[in-house]
């Protein structure tokens, strides 16, 4: 989900303006959803939620961003801890990059 309008806003930007947690969850779960997307004015979906006092939506965005950071940190930590023969090590570099981009 990398679609952007002429202002650089993604569906997550627009969902952050609304008050529908179910719609936000659906978008956050979509492959390629970028919780850190920046529009042409330098605003993220979290900025939109904050400006509209959508505290539940803001919390959902923050939680998803944190989850993704934790997934990457875990994967990187496991790669170094498991060493030779680990499941992460045997994956091709391109596959690992693709997975990390989806997180």
DSSP secondary structure, 15-55, as one string: HHHS--HHHHHHHHTSTT--TT---TTS--HHHHHHHTT-H
pLDDT in tens, 13-43: 999 998 899 999 999 998 888 888 999 999 9
How wide is the angle at C-alpha 24 spanned by C-alphas 59 and 29, nearest 5°? 100
Does the reported pTM lie above 0.75?
A: no
Average pLDDT over residues 66-83: 62
* All domains of the chain in start order, with CATH: 11-102 (1.25.40.20)
What's the chain's average pLDDT? 78
Residue with tokens 């004015």: 41
The residue with greater pLDDT, 11 or 79, is 11
The first and second tokens of residue 60, run together, are 């959902």
Q: What is the pLDDT of residue 69?
A: 72
């Amino acid at each position: 989900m990398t679609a952007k309008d002429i202002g650089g806003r993604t569906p997550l930007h627009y969902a952050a303006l609304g008050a529908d947690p179910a719609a936000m969850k659906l978008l956050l779960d979509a492959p390629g959803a970028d919780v850190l997307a920046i529009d042409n004015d330098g605003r993220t979906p979290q900025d939109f939620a904050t400006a509209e006092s959508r505290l539940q939506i803001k919390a959902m965005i923050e939680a998803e961003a944190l989850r993704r950071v934790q997934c990457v940190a875990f994967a990187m930590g496991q790669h170094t801890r498991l060493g030779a023969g680990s499941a992460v090590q045997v994956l091709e570099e391109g596959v690992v990059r693709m997975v990390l981009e989806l997180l």
